[in-house]
């Protein structure tokens, strides 16, 4: 077996299952799960209809590169959503469909990392655990960039030692962030791209929450947008990852894309051809429809906004709480240890939240996940409000 498998950490939900094992919640309170980031708003009908209309696509092998219609549709979406300058995005060379961003974020490191260089892969901490596993299995060492309240829950690139930049070959960033909802501004992205030029590394920007934002007038910036504004219209060293899972409430469709630097994507396509992860034609057709529509995405944002408002109104009485500008998570500072909080809340109120330390690693003498829990506002509004009242009751007993 690959010896690197032994270095992989258990997934956060395995740790959560261990924490809950043997604990009995009250039988009279139905369980409310706020631990998993799985969207639960209904998938738009027109996406399901498009799947049905194109079931005949099951009769053909799809190509790894994806059909020209889907790539064109994605390029147009990118151009509408982000200000990409005159050249825009070339659907032939700068876009590839992926079967959800999870597999692509993982596969990307396997394609771009040369383990012989003793490379570092930088990533935020706390983080989406796939980045770490991807780095380890690619033969790189993960290097964690702590994101704390003091740094606005964003990585501080200026605090990274030069020796680290010299070994860095790939940086994962996540904006809007999971779990904190923090959004990287254009200035910070610009700084990262300058560092990428100086030290010769690639930036993988996970933007799968980019369409869930609080202010309709202020959508999060994307890395390609910042690159274009700097005159880097070929998106050198940049690859962005986008998904329909959160934007369109279609996590089961397994549909997303990567876009950016044509040279990097050309080699990633070669890798993917062998990896064998072409998107089924049926899914491609449904995805075209989803990327072309914004009405359902606006409605989706409105639903999350209502939930954030309602939950913050309840919890604001007992906690100093910040509603993030994007995403669907509350990153709550806990009055007691985060694992004790999650375990106690489950036992007292039958609500499951995720302890912050299950999403982070100790680094530089601190563990930035401790003392926090991640609360996913994915359940329907009424259920989120019931959960908020139960969390409040629990906090009042501490």
Binding site for ligand PLP (CB under 6 A): 37, 100-102, 128, 174, 178, 206, 208, 243, 245, 251, 256
DSSP string, 127-189: --THHHHHHHHTT-EEEEEE--GGGTTS--GGGS-HHHHHHEEEEEEESS-TTT-----HHHH
Q: What is the smallest separation between the CB atom of 346 and ligand PLP, expressed in angstroms?
A: 21
C-beta closer to ligand PLP: residue 137 or 386? 137
Q: What is the smallest separation between the CB atom of 318 and ligand PLP, expressed in angstroms?
A: 27
C-beta closer to ligand PLP: residue 9 or 23? 9
Q: What is the smallest separation between the CB atom of 248 and ligand PLP, expressed in angstroms?
A: 11
Residue identified by tokens 């099951």 is 58
- C-alpha 109/C-alpha 170 separation (Å) is 8
Whether the CB-CB separation of 128 and 106 falls below 8 Å is answered with: no
C-beta closer to ligand PLP: residue 331 or 394? 331
Q: What is the smallest separation between the CB atom of 143 and ligand PLP, expressed in angstroms?
A: 18
C-beta closer to ligand PLP: residue 291 or 394? 291
Q: What is the smallest separation between the CB atom of 208 and ligand PLP, expressed in angstroms?
A: 4
C-beta closer to ligand PLP: residue 101 or 146? 101
Residue identified by tokens 């089924």 is 280
C-beta closer to ligand PLP: residue 232 or 284? 284
Which of 180, 132, 139 shows the shortest CA–CA distance to 10? Answer: 132
Whether the CB-CB separation of 341 and 373 falls below 8 Å is answered with: yes
Cα separation values, 83 from 14, 96, 130, Å = 41, 20, 29
Q: What is the smallest separation between the CB atom of 348 and ligand PLP, expressed in angstroms?
A: 27
């Amino acid at each position: 077996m690959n010896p690197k498998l032994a270095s992989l950490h258990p997934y956060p939900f395995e740790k959560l299952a261990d924490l809950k094992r043997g604990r009995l919640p009250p039988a009279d309170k139905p369980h409310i799960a706020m631990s998993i980031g799985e969207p639960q708003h209904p998938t738009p009908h027109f996406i399901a209809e498009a799947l049905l209309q194109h079931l005949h696509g099951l009769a053909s092998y799809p190509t790894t590169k994806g059909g020209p219609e889907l790539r064109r549709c994605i390029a147009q979406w990118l151009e509408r959503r982000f200000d990409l300058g005159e050249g825009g995005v070339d659907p032939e060379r700068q876009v590839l469909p992926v079967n959800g961003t999870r597999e692509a974020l993982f596969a990307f490191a396997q394609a771009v990392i040369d383990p012989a260089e003793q490379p570092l892969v930088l990533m935020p901490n706390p983080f989406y655990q796939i980045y770490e596993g991807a780095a380890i299995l690619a033969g790189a060492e993960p290097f964690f960039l702590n994101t704390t309240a003091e740094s606005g829950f964003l990585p501080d690139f200026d605090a990274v030692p030069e020796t680290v930049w010299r070994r860095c070959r790939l940086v994962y960033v996540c904006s809007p962030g999971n779990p904190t909802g923090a959004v990287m501004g254009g200035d910070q992205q610009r700084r990262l791209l300058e560092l990428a030029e100086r030290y010769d590394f690639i930036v993988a920007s996970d933007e799968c929450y980019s369409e869930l934002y609080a202010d309709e007038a202020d959508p999060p910036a994307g890395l390609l947008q910042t690159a274009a504004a700097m005159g880097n219209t070929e998106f050198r060293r940049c690859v962005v990852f986008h998904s329909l899972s959160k934007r369109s409430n279609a996590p089961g469709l397994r549909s997303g894309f990567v876009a950016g630097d044509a040279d990097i994507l050309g080699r990633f396509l070669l890798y993917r051809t062998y990896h064998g992860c072409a998107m089924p034609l049926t899914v491609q057709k449904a995805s075209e429809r989803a990327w072309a529509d914004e009405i359902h995405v606006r409605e989706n944002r409105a639903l999350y906004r209502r939930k954030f408002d309602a939950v913050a109104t309840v919890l604001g009485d007992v906690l100093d709480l910040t509603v993030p500008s994007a995403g669907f998570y509350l990153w709550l500072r806990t009055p007691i240890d985060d694992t004790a909080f999650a375990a106690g809340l489950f036992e007292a109120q039958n609500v499951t939240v995720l302890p912050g330390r299950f999403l982070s690693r100790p680094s530089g003498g601190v563990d930035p996940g401790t003392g926090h829990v991640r609360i996913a506002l994915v359940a329907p509004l009424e259920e989120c409000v019931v959960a908020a009242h139960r969390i409040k009751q629990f906090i009042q007993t501490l």
